[in-house]
Amino acid sequence: MEDYVFKLPDIGEGVVEGEIVSWHVKIGDSVAEDAPIVDVMTDKATVTIPSPTSGVVKELSGEVGDMIAVGTALITFTGGDNPVSPPEEPEDTKTIPEPEIKQPVEESIKEKIEVSEERKTTTVNIPIQEPIKSVKNNLGTRVLASPAVRRRAREADLDLTLVSGSGPAGRIRHADLDAFIAAGGAVTGAPPKSYSSKRTETNEIKVVGLRRKIAEQMVKSKFSIPHFSYFEEIDVTELEKLRKFLNSTKDASQPKLTYLPFIMMALAKIMPQHQECNAHYDEENNVVTQHSAVHLGIATQTDRGLFVPVVKHVEAMDIWQSASEMQRVSGSARDGTASLDDLTGSTFTITSLGRDGGLGATPIINHPEVSILGVHKAREMPVVQDGKIEIRRIMNVSSSFDHRIVDGANGAALIQSLKKFLEHPALIFM
C-alpha cells in the first residue's frame, strides 16, 4: 500500500500557519481514523486535528514549537500489514459521540477539528502499573505541598503523608511524586533532603503555545510602547465600610463584592473626562481611537497562563451586574470555556494580584491599549489626620501609560480622579 501524506488543512479563515503544540502519536504507532493526532495553535485558538485515515505513522513533519504552513506535509501514514480499523459495534448499540467544544473557533473550521482549550499546555502522564491506593497513617503532621501537587496526588489516589518531600522544610514537589510513583508507592522511610544541601538540577522547558504568545505580546508591548508609571495611595476606609454593608444586605442571587467592582464603576464614571486614557493606538497608521464605551480587561491568572477576559459596557451596569460579569468572564477564562468575544475588545485593563499584590509594580500595557491600572492589597496603616494619628485602610495603586498618547499630567489626573471617587464612594453612585 502506498504512503499517504496528510497536509495541514485550512483550519480557519485567514489562518496561514499554525504552531505544533503537542503530538498525540509517534512514529510506529497504529492510528484509527478520527483519532487525535496533533494539537495546533493558531492566532484564533488551539485545535486538535484528527487522523483522516487508519494506518501506521511513518513520519512526523515537525516538532513541538515548530510553525507549519497550511498545505504543507504534517504526517505520513503507511498501511502496513494490518491497517487499523475501528472496532465494529452492534447496530442497535452503536453511538456516535459528539465532539466536545472547549473554545469557539471560526465557522469555517472543518467538522473533524475539535477545539481544546485544555491542551494549550502539555501534560506529562506518568504510567502507573497498578493503582496506588491511599493508606492513611497516624503521623498527624502537616503536609507542605503546592495546590498543583495536591491536585495531582488526589487524581492519582496518593496519600501525601507517605511521600518524602525534598523541598524546603520537607515540602513535597512534583519530582517527589514522580519518585514515589516510580517506586510503586513504596515508603522508603528516608528523611527528606536537607534544604541547605546544594541543588544542581536543571529543567529545560520549551516555550510553545500560549506561553510563547504571551512572551511575544509582552515583548511587543514593552519594546514598542514608551511606558511611564505613576503610583498613589488611596484611603479606602469608607469604601471598606460600604463594601461590608452591601455584602451584609445582598440576596442569594448577588455576588460577594470585592474592591474591583467599585474600581470598575469608578473608572466608568470618570472616563468621559479622561478619554485619552480609554483608547487604542494604531502606530502603523498613526491613528488614536478614543472609546466612549468602557470595556475593562481583567487580567486573570490561569493554569494555562495569563488571560485578559473583558467586561464590556461597564458604563451601563450597576455594582452587582459588574461584579457578576467580572466573575463570569474570569471564571470562564480559568476553566477554558471563554469565547473569543470574552477575550477581545478591551479598552483599558485592570491587573490585581489580590493578597499577593505587594506595594507597587510597573504593569505592562496591554497592546494596543494606552493605559493599565495595577491594584495592590489594602492594609491597615497609621495615618495623620487633622494632627492626630489614626488607623486607616490604605490601598496602593500603580499605573502605566503610553507616553506617545498620554502626557504625564493626564495620566496623573486619571488616577487622582479615581482616588477621589474611591475615598468618597458615594460619588460612584451619583
Q: 92: Cβ–Cβ under 8 A, 6 or more apart, which residues?
A: none
Active site residue 403: yes
Task: For residues 332 and 391, give the distance between their C-alpha atoms in angstroms, rounded to a whole number.
Answer: 39
Q: 427: Cβ–Cβ under 8 A, 6 or more apart, which residues?
A: 266, 269, 420, 421
The catalytically annotated residue of 174, 280, 291, 403 is 403
Q: Which CATH code fits 210-429?
A: 3.30.559.10
Q: How many CA atoms lie within 13 A of 329 on its CB side?
A: 24
Q: Grid coordinates standing for 209?
A: 503555545
Q: Tell me, what's the pLDDT at 43?
A: 66
Q: Tell me, what's the pLDDT at 246?
A: 96
Whether residue 117 contacts residue 100, with contact meaning beta carbons closer than 8 Å, is answered with no
Q: What is the 3-state secondary structure (H, E, C) of 109-134?
A: CCCCCEECHHHHCCCCCCCCCCCCCC
Q: How many CA atoms lie within 13 A of 74 on its CB side?
A: 26
Residuewise pLDDT in 10s, the chain (430 residues): 678 899 888 876 567 788 888 899 999 898 888 888 998 887 656 788 888 888 899 899 888 888 888 888 989 998 744 444 444 444 444 444 444 444 443 444 444 444 444 444 444 444 444 444 433 333 445 678 877 788 888 888 888 888 888 877 778 888 888 888 877 765 554 555 555 677 888 888 888 877 888 888 889 898 999 999 999 999 999 999 999 999 999 999 999 999 999 999 999 999 999 999 999 999 999 999 999 999 999 999 988 888 999 999 999 999 999 999 999 999 999 988 888 899 999 999 999 987 788 899 999 999 999 999 999 999 999 999 999 999 999 999 999 999 999 999 999 999 999 999 999 999 999 9
Fold entry, domain 4-120? OB fold (Dihydrolipoamide Acetyltransferase, E2P) (2.40.50)
Q: Grid coordinates standing for 386?
A: 487633622
Strands (E), 140-226: none
The residue type at 42: T
Q: Tell me, what's the pLDDT at 185?
A: 67
Q: Tell me, what's the pLDDT at 216?
A: 86
Q: Grid coordinates standing for 302?
A: 490561569
Q: Tell me, what's the pLDDT at 398?
A: 97
Surface-to-core class of residue 121, CB atoms within 10 Å of its CB (0-12 exposed, 13-18 middle, 19+ buried): middle
Q: Tell me, what's the pLDDT at 354?
A: 76
Whether residue 221 contacts residue 364, with contact meaning beta carbons closer than 8 Å, is answered with yes
Q: Grid coordinates standing for 150?
A: 495536591
Q: Tell me, what's the pLDDT at 317?
A: 97
Q: Grid coordinates standing for 3?
A: 504512503
How far is C-alpha 64 from the chain's CA centre?
20
The catalytically annotated residue of 282, 303, 407, 424 is 407
Domain 128-197 has CATH 3.40.50.2000: no
Q: Tell me, what's the pLDDT at 281?
A: 96
Per the document, the length of the chain is 430
CA angle 320, 244, 312 (to 5 degrees): 25
The residue type at 344: T
CA distances from 156 to 119, 148, 183, 371 (A): 20, 12, 14, 45
Residue ranges of domains in the chain: 4-120, 128-197, 210-429
Say whether 307 sits in a helix, a strand or coil.
Answer: strand
Active site residue 227: no
Say whether 316 sits in a helix, a strand or coil.
Answer: helix
Task: For residues 8 and 71, give the distance between their C-alpha atoms in angstroms, rounded to a whole number.
Answer: 5
Task: For residues 229 and 232, give the distance between their C-alpha atoms in angstroms, rounded to a whole number.
Answer: 10
Task: For residues 51 and 38, give the distance between their C-alpha atoms in angstroms, rounded to a whole number.
Answer: 9
CA angle 75, 304, 13 (to 5 degrees): 50
Task: For residues 149 and 176, give the distance between their C-alpha atoms in angstroms, rounded to a whole number.
Answer: 10
- Region at 387 (left for phi over 0; alpha for psi -120 to 50; beta for the rest): left
Query: What are 7's strand-pairing partners?
Result: 73
- Region at 249 (left for phi over 0; alpha for psi -120 to 50; beta for the rest): alpha
Whether residue 28 contacts residue 57, with contact meaning beta carbons closer than 8 Å, is answered with yes
The residue type at 60: L
Rounded to 5 degrees, φ, ψ at 235 are -85, 110
**Model pTM?**
0.61
